[in-house]
Amino acid sequence: MASEEKVIVIDFGGQYNQLVARRVRECNVYCEIYSYRTPIDQIKAMNPKGIILTGGPNSCYEEGAPTYTKELFELGIPVLGLCYGAQLMMHVLGGKVEKAPVREYGKTETFIDGSKEALFASVEDKTIVWMSHFDYISKVAPGFEIIAHTTDCPVAAAACEDKKLYAIQFHPEVLHTVKGKEILRNFVRGICETAGTWRMDSFVENTVKEIREKVGDGKVLLALSGGVDSSVLAALLAKAIGKQLTCVFVDHGLLRKNEGDEVEGVFGPKGNFDINFIRVNAAERYYAKLKGVEEPERKRKIIGEEFIRVFEEEAKKIGRVDFLAQGTIYPDVVESGLGGESVVIKSHHNVGGLPDYVDFKEIIEPLRSLFKDEVRKAGLELGLPEYLVFRQPFPGPGLGIRIIGEVTAEKVRIVQDADFIYREELANAGLEKLPDQYFAALSNMRSVGVMGDERTYDYAVVLRAVETIDFMTAEASEIPFEVLQRVMSRIINEVKGVNRVMYDLTSKPPGTVELE
């Protein structure tokens, strides 16, 4: 996404690299992540207003450790080093970094020593920060002064004000650092002198213009899943090119209750968008393919392959199509190893080129520069209903991986009804936005129960609710017991085939957010 001004994050393998970029964007400044392997000439060509160096798992003084040329600090561009980035700055510029006598980890009381006019403006003399380091800066580089310390860390922060170079040992990007947002804002908006004009309304306006210029009078095809990313993309394309867009919505029968009708209500003939909308009701086709299949990865593969087959069939019926639109977002790019240096977390189906079954001229990915929270803001800006914009995260294979064992129409009905009750009761209790993800799943366990005067032998439903920052780790949410009791009572009384309800307390790790 082109922007008049931007700050870049240089990634040294830190686990919080995306979080740093998000925090910068919260200051209304556009930000992108680049690997430390990015050549200095490429950095200079970007003409960034500021540069932030991330943390990382290495020791900067060891042979082969990630590093960067000294020239980076001589460009006249403000640089902020975080944790490993701070140590590297000192190491490259003539300071000394060593193994710390005492490792610091977690919330740490920190004392501000230096001027509070720049980086630490509005920060108290004593504050709480998040430390995570086993090396420490034992001697600052020439020209730097110490501006913060802790009981065990003599250099919690150092600055060379003349060159606008700042090194901080802690992590301001995480919420545990009490004044972290203010510190980053002081750097990005104050020291880097940015205007702060990056906003969703301008993103939508500029992107609509770019889409029109790129597409011209061409035809665009989008596989609309009903999820947040594809829905926002559909709304954005609809605003840009209207009837030149065709959305194919493959209803595989594994969606949540009423979800297919909700998607059609928004994007179909009676909706608010003047586009070509095709709904393919393929539930029976999917159930037939999944019959007798119990292994999770096999189910995923069948559901993915069948989607390709259905989508391909519909694409051929449409005729000429020039562009395929995909809902790739920025975490997909970074996690696929294309936007930074951190460990590749997943190989994402939207990143890396045209699918081999598609015969189109080009892929367009207008959301490629946005984080998930920014996608939601764009959706609201485009007039999408809140229930769709803030829809719970939903896996690509749908309920196929929330049903343990074989998938059948009867099991789909059970989990749809149970999940609907669970979500409804959390909403009634005002808790629908507290867990970051919650859903009902169907175990493959059947047990004896008593309902009325009869013994039953029915399924057990599993309720899941987690709280997380990045979905890399997660903790089970503490749903009030009386709410869980109401959910349990309603499911057992209203959902035929269920006689037991359980709550999953497992964290990630060792578990995963989904059950399969």
Residues designated as active site: 83, 171, 173
Identify the residue whose tokens are 């343990």.
Answer: 404
Strand order in the sheet with 323-325: 276-281, 245-251, 220-223, 323-325, 362-364
User: Which phi-psi region, left, alpha or beta, contains residue 483 (left: φ > 0; alpha: ψ -120 to 50)?
Assistant: alpha
What's 256's DSSP letter?
Answer: P
In Å, what is the CA distance from 236 to each residue of 29, 240, 382? 22, 6, 7
Would you state the torsion angle of the CA atoms of residues 401, 403, 406, 411, taken in this order, to the nearest 10 degrees? -140
User: If 0-12 CB within 10 Å is exposed, 13-18 middle and 19+ buried, where does residue 45 land?
Assistant: exposed
157 in Cβ contact with 124 (< 8 Å): no
CA distance 105 to 107: 7
Residue 168 structure tokens: 């901080």
197 in Cβ contact with 28 (< 8 Å): yes
| Amino acid, res. 350 | N
CA distance 311 to 33: 33
Q: Which residues of 238-277 are buried (b: 16+ CB within 10 A; e: fewer)?
A: bbbbeebbbbbbbbbbbbbbebbebbbebbbeeeebebbb
Query: Which residues share a beta bridge with 278?
Result: 248
Q: What's the Rg (C-alpha) of the chain?
A: 26
236 in Cβ contact with 211 (< 8 Å): yes
Using alpha carbons only, give the angle 59, 65, 66 rounded to the nearest 5 degrees: 110
114 in Cβ contact with 154 (< 8 Å): no
| Amino acid, res. 90 | M
CA distance 441 to 460: 9
Question: DSSP string spanning 391-410?
Answer: PPP--TTGGGGSB-S---HH
Question: DSSP string spanning 473-490?
Answer: SBEE----HHHHHHHHHH
The pairing of strands 96-112 and 79-82 is: unpaired
